[in-house]
A and B are shown apart, each in its own frame.
Chain A
Amino acid sequence: MSENLTRAFKLAALLALAAFPFYGTDFYTEVVAKILILAIFAMSLDLLVGFTGLVSFGHAAYFGLAAYMAVLLSPPDFTPASLWTLMPLAMLAAGLAAFVIGLFVLRTKGIYFIMVTLAFAQMAYFIFHDTKLGGGSDGIYLDVRPTAAIGGYTPFDLYDTVHLYFFVLVLMVLVYLFLSRLLRSPFGRVLVGIRSNEHRMQSLGYATFWYKLAAFTIAGTLAGLAGFLYAVLFGFVTPEYLSWHKSGQVLLMVILGGMGNLAGAIAGAFVFVGLQETFTDLTKHWQLLMGGVIVLVVLFMPGGLAALPGRILNRLRKEGRNG
């Protein structure tokens, strides 16, 4: 697709998203808000998997940690916390965790990296699952949503579904713009260089470890933003938020959309939740169908959705030539 066509398509999609709450019911507005949050989560992982070549299978750890922070750092007595302190704090916690874990996991490569990220995420899962810190395996409630009040002025109300929806949408667009800008910067070029050939980047004099650590920390912080929003939207946090299922699901979103493509990650989130909703309507054993889809996608659809238009065009061209 040409540059202009892609841009026009993205703009149309954004307009459709902005118009959605005025036509959809509250229920679907919440579903789409959930998808937009997962899109932030997927884009943050894409920074690692798609652009830096780091396959993290423990990305849910930072998502879940920030979700827990949203609850644990809120005042206990039903007074709402301030959004403008709670959100940065939750993100900071996730970013710090990613920084510390990154110091360990980035010493490894390839298969080791996948296993070690998974193991550390599982460790975080057990901390919340086995100790009384966050209500154990039952999880914990976020009693009141944070307030957006600054001084005496309240620009929007997170209890209003439409307000919450637009807050999430704006944040998702900001994350998209931030990551696009980041990837065009010299820093981003180094990351992409690391993906294609880390040794060469080292020979060129780049301290690749610290670049990777920076990417890992940024990705963890943004996953934290998603986890925070998820906790605010659902008002409930369980250890499942940190589980390998979540890590696997977000990886699936990235793959479905086609790695190394931020818009693709957003599309992947839509497709994943769409499939999930369809399958759960059909049967309680929906994971069987999801598993089948995953296996088929890996075997027959390399490159994900983003590569699909190109592949179809190629096929058509070939047939045009033959027929």
Chain B
Amino acid sequence: MDFTIFLIQVLNALQYGLLLFLVAIGLTLVFGIMGIINLAHGSFYMLGAYAAFVLTSLTGNLFAAIALGIPLAFVFGVVLEKLLFSHLYKRDHLEQVLLTYGLILIFEELRSLTVGDDVHGVPIPELFAFSIQLSDVMSYPAYRLVVSVVCIVLAIGLYFLIQRSRLGMMIRAGSHDRDMVQALGINIKTLYAVVFAIGVSLAALAGMLAAPLSSVYPGMGFSVLIISFVVVVIGGVGSVWGALVAALIIGFADTFGKVLVPEWAGLAVYLVMAMVLLWRPEGIFRKG
């Protein structure tokens, strides 16, 4: 493989992996802290992408759409947690699976009723609508680099939020021992709502960032959900850094799978998962 092509594929793999990481954070935190399996998490990605489409056509700018979309997603997350998910904490996984499966159907149909079932494109913001010349014939779209950079900045921000802030301390404690956190006088209900809403916002943001790259189409939420599950399984439930490493592994497996064995690329990701399951059934980063 030519070095420039290799470099482009590496950049693609990074960008895809980092976007997956944004989606997977919410899944893994909600599993780890609240013990909830949320099938509808992919729908937040889908709704984010559609919100980007609608808001961009209204405001004319993806950044304005994101600035409007994030608070919307956060509020949506809090409402959803208070209304539905807070009833699920004491239920078993089966009921969680079922209720969130029902939510997927509802979200998809509401999307179909309001925006329709067509595939839409979202324009790349003009500021970044150019390509970087890598060699005489090869170039790389700047917007993809921007997405990667945004994700890296967010990952660093999350590191400080989780490792250094008071909220992060509560989140870490909550994933370790829920009852003890409550006994120490922390309002666990508020903590749950905030964590859930952060997860929703990040998934929606990933959808908004991805909208100009992948276009916006029905069913985009579910394919992302399955891959995010794979990420969480590989990384270990509740581990944010496990999710980061796993997301990058999947990003590389998928991207290079498509280059090397195009026909069977869809399987590469699952083969990686099967191998990790044989090696460490609880995920790479699962602590004791």
Contacts and interface: CB of A to CB of B under 8 A. Distances in A.
Do A and B bind? yes
Contacts of B270: 119-120, 122-123
B68 interface: no
B99 A295 contact: yes
A204 interface: no
B281 A119 contact: no
B102 A292 contact: yes
B140 interface: no
A294 B93 contact: no
B149 interface: no
A255 B98 contact: yes
Interface residues of A, number: 41
Contacts of A302: 95
Nearest to B267: A123
Name the residue among B35, B91, B98 with the largest chain A CB count within 10 angstroms: B98
Interface string A106-138: 011011101110111011001100110000000
Q: Interface size bucket, B side?
A: 35 or more
Interface centre among A127, A291, A297 (most CB of B within 10 A): A291
B282 to A, nearest CB: 7
B94 A290 contact: no
B97 A251 contact: yes
B281 A112 contact: yes
Nearest to B222: A244
Contacts of B109: 285, 287-288, 291
Contact of B97 (A104, A105, A114, A259): A114
Contacts of B108: 287
A108 B110 contact: no
B97 A57 contact: yes
B217 interface: no
Contact of A55 (B35, B97, B104): B97
Given A57-B97, A111-B237, A291 B267 contact: no
B31 interface: yes
Interface stretch (B120-128, B241-249, B272-280): B272-280
B93 A110 contact: yes
Interface stretch (B59-67, B151-159, B228-236): B228-236
B87 interface: yes
Contacts of A108: 233, 277, 281-282
A126 B267 contact: yes
Interface in A271-323: 285, 287-288, 290-295, 297-299, 302
Nearest to B32: A111
B113 A294 contact: no
Nearest to A244: B222
Contacts of B150: none
A303 to B, nearest CB: 11
Interface string B70-103: 0000000000000010010001011101110111
A259 B110 CA distance: 30
Contacts of B263: 130-131
Contacts of B264: 131
B232 A115 contact: yes
A293 to B, nearest CB: 8
A55 B102 contact: no
Contact of B105 (A112, A122, A288): A288
A57 B270 CA distance: 16
A105 B87 CA distance: 29
A252 interface: yes
A50 to B, nearest CB: 10
A291 B112 CA distance: 14
Nearest to A247: B101
Nearest to A292: B106
A291 B35 CA distance: 23
A111 B93 contact: yes
A245 B96 CA distance: 16
A49 interface: yes
Given A104-B274, A127-B267, A302-B95, 7 more contacts: A104-B277, A115-B232, A290-B105, A291-B104, A292-B102, A294-B102, A298-B95
Interface of B: 31, 35, 37, 84, 87, 91, 93-95, 97-99, 101-106, 108-110, 112-113, 222, 226, 229-230, 232-233, 237, 263-264, 266-267, 270, 273-274, 277-278, 281-283
Per CB-CB distance, the 9 closest pairs between chain A and chain B, nearest first, are: A294-B102, A291-B105, A288-B109, A291-B106, A126-B266, A115-B229, A123-B270, A298-B99, A107-B281
14 contacts: A55-B94, A107-B277, A107-B278, A111-B31, A112-B283, A114-B37, A118-B229, A119-B229, A119-B270, A251-B101, A252-B98, A259-B94, A290-B105, A298-B91
Interface of A: 49, 55, 57, 104-105, 107-108, 110-112, 114-116, 118-120, 122-123, 126-127, 130-131, 244, 248, 251-252, 255, 259, 285, 287-288, 290-295, 297-299, 302
